[in-house]
Amino acid sequence: MMAEAETQKDDMLLEVKDLTVRFPVKRGGIFGGKSYLYAVDDISFEVKRGETLAIVGESGSGKTTAALAVARLVEAYSGTVRLGDEDFLALKDDDLRRARAKVQIIFQDPYASLNPRLRAEDIVSEPIESLNPLGKSERQTVIDGLFKDVGLRPEQQRLFPHQFSGGQRQRIGIARALATQPELIICDEPVSALDVAVQAQILNLLRKLQKERDLTFLFISHDLGVVQHMCDSIAVMYMGKIVEHADRKSLFNDPKHPYTQALLSAVPSVDAKRRRNTKRILIPGDPPDPINPPQGCRFANRCPIAEAKCNESQPPLREIKGGHKVACHLA
Amino acid sequence: MTVPLLKVENLRIELATRDGVAPVIDDLSLELGVGETLSFVGESGCGKSMTALAIMGLLPEKVGRIASGHIWFNGEDLTKADDARLRQIRGNEISMIFQEPMTSLNPVYTIGEQISEVLRRHKGLSQRQAHAKAIELLDAVRIPNPQARVDDYPHQMSGGQRQRVMIAIALACEPKILIADEPTTALDVTVQAQIFDLLRDLGQQTGTATILITHDMGAVAEMAERMIVMYAGRKAEEGPVDQVIDSPRHPYTKGLISCVPHLLDTLTDERPELTEIGGIVPSLRDFGKNECLFASRCTIADEKCRANRPPEAEFDNQQRSACWHAGQV
């Protein structure tokens, strides 16, 4: 019995393989053919049950698109997403509805992601009604419990979103995400719209809920300080590709990819020791045009250590030591 | 002591609200020396941008006004200056970079025209001279191929490049003071690092004093020499950056620093709970009260804090804290 629970714990909840998302873009001119922008280009990653994988990267790197594709909110062009023992991308109709209850999202902007015409209780009960309908009194019990768990008072159920502060609104967003008892929650920049003092409350709440409910998080953020605090492993994305994927400690203490190194060195820190020991690696210029990505490594034109071969072929994501994967010819 | 470049004395700014008049800046004093970098830190609504707007003479008309106090710039009181004089100073001797590089450039003019405008207005350059100078400035803010880019429109540039253009405009007349209001909030970290480097280098070259408004303690530690922590329109703490971060003397400063997870030199398995600052900022209605406005969220507040506004306690190391218990924090 114990052993079984043990292996259960080690289970992968989410396995993403060769996921690609592309968007059609119009070329200029009447005869300009269709071409595609590969927002997410052939990425693979896994998340263990009860753990947090952070996807980091700068704007336009494809981190949000990747997460939305996992939740089937944008259509994947190819690849597979295994959730538990189901092929999530192949599900249809009722199976899909049932499975959707297992994947929920907390959005970035608590001011824009709550319907201003609904009362807080209706916002939270909406996913229950559409994904796993319950009887009226049962539903009320669930909602009462959710409000309590996210730190809102029962009488606040009757209020409208504009009557809440930013942090409280994000609590409603969290309660809504928890309503269908999901296994995987995608947190898309859940605190970046909040004031720093409120951020701490939300981050602590997320970690508490994760522990209590054995939740798995896919945590998307550009704030490396927050990521460092929240995650168990990290995938760094650059122009639709995962360039480095490792557990928290080895990624932050020993980054292997030149882009990750530059990214970490760019974070301003209050730690005087870190400031002394970090040499800032500046990466000049901008990323290349995503519609015509270069043949070779996509980071090569900004990379401080690029060589001729970097422009010729794309480096594959390969494991260099104990689970630490890097996509770089020179690492 | 030398005369400071900018001296704000007991500034009080009142904002007309539905519930009456609220002092959004309440008895604020500060000094800024030549070439110095000073940082304002605080949550949204604490008055840091309002102070900047007051210095620029850009308070929203009819809504906000300077009720009392003085802003001395080079011996001249800006609170008494008329609009024509303020126009002479703005963009010329004091200039400002705004938060949103996406919206603060005019989309229907080329960036060359927008940089030239400042130079022609304040320095009386001809169109041709101003154009040549604009190219020089674009080069100075490290935009590659400035000859060609000078005729681009803002939409042809990335966010980082637009912010560089804003910096070029702000520094065109070599101002004595540059106010940067959250200059990198909308940008990615690697771009932020480039902008900070640029601001630092240009500041050193031109001797411009900088006021950096931000909520990011890391950015403050990286960029500024002195900092002022604002809370609810009042100065909570002031002092040299390293000292304030190392040993804050105000419970609010302490909370602000420890509620954010920071990247440390070496990461360990340890991940303590983040310190929360409970409660929320007071509403505008409470702003003028004779009490410590932070008391309702403070863990060490007592009767005295709720009954009287704390005076500034000064420490030997030039740190100042508006807290009744500053000695114990």
Chain B residue with minimal CA distance to A263? Answer: B190
**Which one-letter amino acid corresponds to residue A114?**
L
Residue B8's pLDDT band (boundaries 50, 70, 90)? very high
Q: Which residue of A has its CA nearest to B46?
A: A195
Summarize the confidence of residues A65-85 as an average pLDDT. 93
Contact B168, B146 (CB under 8 A): no
Taking an 8 Å cut-off on Cβ atoms, the answer to whether B263 and A273 are in contact is no
Domains of chain A: 2-102+182-326 (3.40.50.300)
Q: CA-CA distance, A46 to A235, in Å (whole number)?
A: 10
Residue-wise pLDDT for A194-221, tens only, equals 888 889 999 999 999 999 999 999 999 9
Burial class (CB in 10 A: 0-12, 13-18, 19+), B174: middle
Check B261 against A203: CB less than 8 A apart: yes
Which chain A residues are within 8 Å of B264, Cβ to Cβ?
Answer: 269, 271, 273-274
Contact A260, A236 (CB under 8 A): yes
Each residue's pLDDT tens digit, B43-55:
888 888 899 999 9
Decide the pairing of beta strands A241-247 and A12-26: unpaired
Q: How many CB pairs under 8 A join A and B?
A: 123
Q: Residues for chain B: how many in total?
A: 329
Structure confidence at residue A3 (pLDDT): 45
pLDDT at A7 over 80: no
Q: Helix (H, G, I), strand (E, B), or coil: what is residue B31? A: strand
Q: What is the pLDDT of residues B67-84, one digit of tens each?
A: 999 999 998 999 999 999
> Does A248 contact B at CB distance below 8 Å?
yes
Mean pLDDT computed over A228-256: 95
Using a pLDDT cut of 70, give the percent of chain A over it.
95
Closest residue in B to A207 (Cα–Cα):
B273
The whole-model pTM stands at: 0.88
- Asked if residue B283 lies in contact with residue B268, where contact means CB atoms within 8 angstroms, the answer is no
pLDDT at A2 over 60: no
More confident call, A242 vs A279: A242
Band (pLDDT 50/70/90 cuts) for residue A28 is low
Contacts of B160 in chain A (CB under 8 A): 286
| pLDDT score, position B265 | 81
- Nearest Cα of chain A lies from the Cα of B272 at a distance, in angstroms, of 9
Q: Is the pLDDT of residue B148 over 60?
A: yes
pLDDT at A253 over 90: yes
Closest partner CB to A268 (pick from B218, B242, B266): B218
B153-194, pLDDT tens digit by residue? 999 988 888 999 999 999 999 999 999 999 888 788 888 888
Q: Distance between CA atoms of B230 and B45, rounded to whole angstroms?
A: 10
How many beta carbons lie within 10 A of that of residue B27, not counting itself?
Answer: 17
Q: What is the ipTM of this complex?
A: 0.83
Q: State chain B's mean pLDDT as an integer.
A: 90
> For residues A227 and A234, is the Cβ–Cβ distance under 8 A?
yes
A-interface mutation test, from B149, B223, B257, B262, most A Cβ less than 10 A away: B262
pLDDT of residue B264: 81
Taking only the tens place, the pLDDT of each residue in A157-192 is 999 999 998 899 999 999 999 999 999 999 999 998
Residue A10 has pLDDT above 70, yes or no: no
Contact B189 A224 (CB under 8 A): yes
Angle in degrees, CA B294, B300, B301, rounded to 5: 50
Q: Is B7 helix (H, G, I), strand (E, B) or coil?
A: strand
Query: Is B194:B140 a contact under the CB 8 Å cutoff?
Result: no
Q: B6-90+225-321 adopts what CATH topology?
A: Rossmann fold (3.40.50)
φ, ψ at A87 (rounded to 5°): -85, 95
CB contact under 8 A, A222 and B189: yes
| CB contact at 8 A, B324 and B300 | no
The amino acid present at B174, given as its one-letter code, is E
pLDDT recorded at residue A32? 67
- Pair type for strands B234-240 and B226-231: antiparallel
Spatial distance between the Cα atoms of A204 and A213, rounded to a whole number of angstroms: 14
Contact A200 B260 (CB under 8 A): yes
Any idea which residue has 């912010």 for tokens? B163
| Per-residue 3-state assignment (H helix, E strand, C coil) for chain A | CHHHHHHHHHCEEEEEEEEEEEEEEECCCCCCCEEEEEEEEEEEEEEECCCEEEEECCCCCCHHHHHHHHCCCCCCCEEEEEECCEEHHHCCHHHHHHHHCCEEEECCCCCCCCCCCCCHHHHHHHHHHHHCCCCHHHHHHHHHHHHHHCCCCHHHHHCCHHHCCHHHHHHHHHHHHHCCCCCEEEEECCCCCCCHHHHHHHHHHHHHHHHHHCCEEEEEECCHHHHHHHCCEEEEEECCEEEEEEEHHHHHHCCCCHHHHHHHHHCCCCCHHHHHHCCCCCCCCCCCCCCCCCCCCCCCCCCCCCCHHHHCCCCCCEEEECCEEECCCCC
Closest among A71, A57, A58, A59 to A19, alpha carbons compared? A71
Q: How far apart are CA A117 and CA A108, in angstroms?
A: 20
The 10 Å Cβ neighbour count of residue B103 is 12
pLDDT of residue B168: 93
Name which of A156, A228, A270 to mutate to probe chain B: the one with the most chain B Cβ atoms within 10 A of its Cβ: A270
A47 confidence band (pLDDT: 50, 70, 90): very high
Tell whether the model's pLDDT for residue B288 goes beyond 70: yes
* CB contact at 8 A, A50 and A215: yes
Which amino acid type is present at position B197?
Answer: D
The confidence score (pLDDT) of residue A9 equals 46
Q: Render pLDDT for B190-246 as a digit per residue (tens, 0 to 9).
A: 888 888 988 998 888 888 999 999 988 999 999 999 999 999 999 999 999 999 999
A268 inside 8 A of chain B by CB: yes
Q: Which residue of B has its CA nearest to A197?
A: B277
Burial class (CB in 10 A: 0-12, 13-18, 19+), A313: exposed
Domain boundaries, chain B: 6-90+225-321
CA closest to B43 among chain A residues: A195
pLDDT score, position B118: 93
Contact B265 A264 (CB under 8 A): no
Residue A193: predicted pLDDT: 86
- Shortest Cα distance, chain B CAs vs residue A273, angstroms: 6
CA distance A140 to chain B (A): 27
Q: What is the pLDDT of residue A213?
A: 94
Determine, for residues B262 and A284 on separate chains, whether the beta-carbon distance falls below 8 Å: no
Residue A29: per-residue pLDDT: 63
How crowded is the C-beta side of A51, counted as CA atoms within 13 Å?
19
Q: What is the pLDDT of residue A6?
A: 46
**Torsion over CA of B316, B318, B320 and B326, rounded to 10 degrees?**
-30
- Write out chain B residues lying below 8 Å of A286, CB-based: 158, 160-161
Q: Which residues from chain A sit within 8 angstroms of residue B159, using beta carbons?
A: 59
Task: Identify the residue whose tokens are 């169109």.
Answer: B127
Each residue's pLDDT tens digit, B83-122: 999 999 998 999 999 888 778 899 999 999 999 999 999 9
- Contact in structure between B221 and B193 (CB atoms under 8 Å): no
Candidate from A200, A224, A272 with C-beta closest to B259? A200
Determine whether the interchain pair A269/B158 forms a contact, defined as Cβ–Cβ distance below 8 Å: no
Closest Cα in chain B, distance from residue A144 (Å):
22
**Contact at CB, B260 and A196, closer than 8 angstroms:** yes
